[in-house]
């Protein structure tokens, strides 16, 4: 077994850096609480003597395990008593030069923080996918699983790993569920997260309804049509929203700025708003369950009156009425004539 000084070095190394920590989940691992006793099994089906080897991190060389007060070999198994930082790492069972099995001994992270403060989930619609983001930095590997099998730590749990770590230290996940979007939601989703920091593992489970995490993408402002002294705003659902729209209805809220005094107003009960406004923006939510509002669309300038309609070339920044076919082409022709006339008058002034 490693000498005491080497164990102390390993302990100091963990406290100073996590550079050699686990970046993914081992195929086999055992989780123990501080000062708990555990039995590591070799997994060999044949009788006969075996030896155990140990290394704290994957970058280290394997070394033979010698029996000490808190580590005893019992037949083919290994008993580890009073689990703590110095005995954490990878234990492998060998017969001669043949590696029979490998198991990581990890420490249970007993932090009391709830999963709600560690992870945020969002569904853009009632379709079969939703995303989650792990927000806490300091963890080198995180995985998520849905269902009772995952919350119980079952072998058949389908774990989802993040493809990469985000710049802020978090992890992004896409999960799939089998709930029907057309049926009344009576079953809660059961989400389990496991996260590794050095050689300790945090495990948390939360339960929620899909409707609780629904937040549509921003809607699309299609056009602004004058109706007497009001403006009728046509709004389309985002392309990511569930269909048919007649079944998955959205309610929209319009915020606008008045031309006269710059004051803002809102309308959520009607698509009709005051005509004399300078700009507007829109957000949406599920009208049945009153989901979280979407993000606001960017502000759009409102173009009304014949003098302003030729400014409707950029519909991404402007909200305009539906224009007759070829209207903008006529605007281009008028613009060219106007520029020629301006250049001609300037040239005439120079001659004079």
Query: pLDDT digit string (tens) for 72-115?
Result: 888 889 999 989 888 999 999 998 888 999 999 999 988 777 88
Supply the pLDDT for residue 349: 55
Span of 32-36, 214-218, 225-229 with lowest mean pLDDT: 225-229
In this prediction, residue 200 has a pLDDT band, given cuts at 50, 70 and 90, of very high
Average pLDDT over residues 167-183: 88
In this prediction, residue 332 has a pLDDT band, given cuts at 50, 70 and 90, of low
Supply the pLDDT for residue 338: 52
Confidence check: pLDDT of 7 > 50 = no
In this prediction, residue 3 has a pLDDT band, given cuts at 50, 70 and 90, of very low
Span of 189-203, 247-261, 306-320 with lowest mean pLDDT: 306-320
Confidence check: pLDDT of 344 > 50 = no
Average pLDDT over residues 261-282: 90
Q: What percent of the chain has pLDDT over 90?
A: 48
What's the mean per-residue pLDDT of the chain?
A: 84
Supply the pLDDT for residue 210: 95
Question: Which one is predicted more confidently, 38 or 59?
Answer: 38
Confidence check: pLDDT of 13 > 50 = no
Supply the pLDDT for residue 298: 95
Question: Which one is predicted more confidently, 24 or 68?
Answer: 24
In terms of Cα–Cα distance, which of 213, 205, 197, 61 is closest to 141? 197
Question: Which one is predicted more confidently, 14 or 64?
Answer: 64
């Amino acid at each position: 077994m490693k000498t005491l000084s080497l164990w102390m070095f390993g302990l100091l190394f963990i406290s100073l850096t996590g550079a050699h920590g686990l970046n993914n989940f081992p195929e086999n691992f055992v989780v123990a609480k501080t000062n708990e006793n555990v039995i590591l099994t070799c997994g060999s089906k044949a009788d006969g003597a075996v030896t155990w080897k140990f290394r704290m991190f994957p970058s280290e060389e394997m070394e033979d395990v010698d029996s000490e007060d808190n580590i005893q070999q019992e037949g083919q198994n290994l008993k580890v008593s009073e689990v703590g930082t110095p005995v954490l790492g990878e234990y492998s069972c060998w017969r001669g030069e043949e590696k029979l099995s490998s198991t990581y001994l990890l420490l249970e992270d007993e932090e009391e923080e709830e999963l709600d403060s560690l992870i945020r989930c969002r569904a853009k619609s009632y379709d079969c996918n939703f995303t989650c983001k792990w927000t806490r930095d300091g963890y080198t590997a995180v995985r998520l699983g849905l269902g009772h099998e995952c919350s119980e730590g079952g072998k058949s749990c389908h774990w989802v790993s993040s493809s990469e770590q985000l710049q802020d230290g978090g992890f992004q996940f896409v999960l799939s569920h089998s709930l029907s979007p057309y049926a009344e939601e009576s079953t809660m989703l059961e989400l389990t997260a496991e996260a590794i920091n050095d050689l300790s593992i945090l495990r948390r489970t939360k339960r929620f309804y899909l409707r609780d995490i629904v937040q549509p993408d921003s809607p699309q402002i299609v056009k602004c049509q004058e109706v007497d002294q009001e403006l009728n705003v046509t709004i389309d659902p985002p392309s990511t929203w569930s269909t048919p729209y007649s079944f998955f209805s959205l309610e929209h809220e319009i915020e606008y700025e008045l031309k006269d005094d710059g004051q803002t107003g809102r309308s959520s009960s009607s698509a009709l708003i005051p005509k004399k406004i300078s700009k507007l923006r829109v957000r949406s939510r599920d009208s049945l369950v009153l989901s979280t509002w979407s993000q606001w669309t960017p502000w759009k300038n409102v173009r009304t009156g014949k003098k302003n309609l030729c400014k409707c070339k950029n519909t991404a920044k402007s909200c305009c009425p539906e224009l007759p076919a070829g209207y903008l082409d006529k605007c281009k022709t008028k613009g060219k004539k106007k520029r020629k006339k301006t250049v001609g008058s300037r040239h005439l002034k120079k001659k004079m």
